[in-house]
Structure 1
Amino acid sequence: MKFTVIGGTGLIGSQVVAKLSAAGHEAVAASPSTGVDMITGDGLDAALEGAGTVVNLANSPTFDDKSLDFFRTSMGNLLAAGERAGVRHQVVLSIVGVDRVPGLDYYRAKTLQEELLRQGPTPYSIVRATQFFEFMDAVLSWTSDERTVRLPATPVRPMAAADVAAAVFEVATGAPLDGIRNVGGPDLFTLDDLGRLTLEVKGDGREVVTDDTAGMFAAVDGDVLVGGPDVRLAPTHYRDWLRNEH
């Protein structure tokens, strides 16, 4: 079967394409670098021709309120192109707890994307993942200086990008869920403790100061980012991954 992976050259998309190809499927990576523009719709019809399933991993270039327009337009274009092409399954990667953090523009934009998918003409699946291990350096950089890193004590359950890709692959090659699958890492941390562990393994001498007003995740209320009792736990532990990376 043919799969079109929107964002198929990115961190998750390239791994999903590789998994699909290894399983014997035809996997087409669609991105701006391959001539596909999600905002204008240019190249979409050609990329989706003959595809039974579309995996949408496209990401907004910004995390502010402009992301709402990005996901509104890109999702509309993709659903219309999918209907023209006879696509039978639309898969979107989203975020655990995304609809419970209204204070973040990007999370509201992803919630809008999910809603457009639900209202669309095609059977669908939503894979909601927790924060990626690979983004921890960026999180540390948002509220840091030469001596300290300020982080809130937000509960998180981070997971490896490879495990995210595996979860997307599993859902994409199955029957449409017409619902949501939550996936997360095997270990529960608070974000400030996760920062301390990261700096320790990296040999970084900066101090992590707990500050519940610091950074993007200060807008998160309670444990909404860890998933509920239905969350499927991935196998890779952060400590193991971090030590292998460093």
Structure 2
Amino acid sequence: MKLRTHQVEKPWGRTELPPVFGSTDGRRIGEIWFDAPGRDDPPLLVKYIFTSENLSIQVHPDDGEARERGLDRGKSECWYILDAEPGATLGLGLRSAVAPGALRAAALDGSIEEMMDWKPVKPGDFFYVPAGTVHAIGAGISLLEFQQNSDVTYRLYDYGRPRALHLDDGIAVSKPAPYPEGLARGAEAESILLVAGPHFTLCRVRAAADMPAALAGRERWVMPIEGTVRSGSDEAGPGECLLLEPHAPLDLTPGSHILVGAAGAL
């Protein structure tokens, strides 16, 4: 089935989005969420994110830490960069490891901005962001986010915006260290496995035959980047998403470029 979308306002969002997402009516829309009708709690969530300002410096708990706090699951996520203005950056991890007390002090006085490892980005770049990673999405970026279906975020620093911080929980679940470079991928043209678990699998393919055979018998989220995909009577293009039942057929138009995800490890 083709998933429905809804717009989410954010102080760092944009008043103009690609036409496929409809009018913002002058609101600052930062996220487009994809909803599965009839599914109360799917394990994974697809979002598009559009930034005009930096997001907060934040962190998410893992599954165990989330359950300790009365939540169903934690939040590991990944980002596929769709567009980036010149000079746009992501904050991923810290430039060097620090003690939790030093991270708290930096969050309070704002020096956490200088602690962050700000990485330049371009379309096609990919980053897996496991729970515990201190991170921030910078201004001028459009990306597709594939994540565990959880909306838990602990803000450590928010550039003076009048929103609550969550320092106790945030410091407790943070891994205040550099980001592992092996979790990032460049904009290679060939098909590639981007994430192989534990919470989800994600691959980039350009033909249906490129998709790992192990995914065919599983529920799949199909996200076109270029071209069109079809399964039965359902069709989707860029800015849309299909959720396929196990063994449902998948056809790509020539020249297509899609992301395919599923719950669990490959």
Return the TM-score normalized by structure 2: 0.26
Higher helix proportion: 1
Higher strand proportion: 2
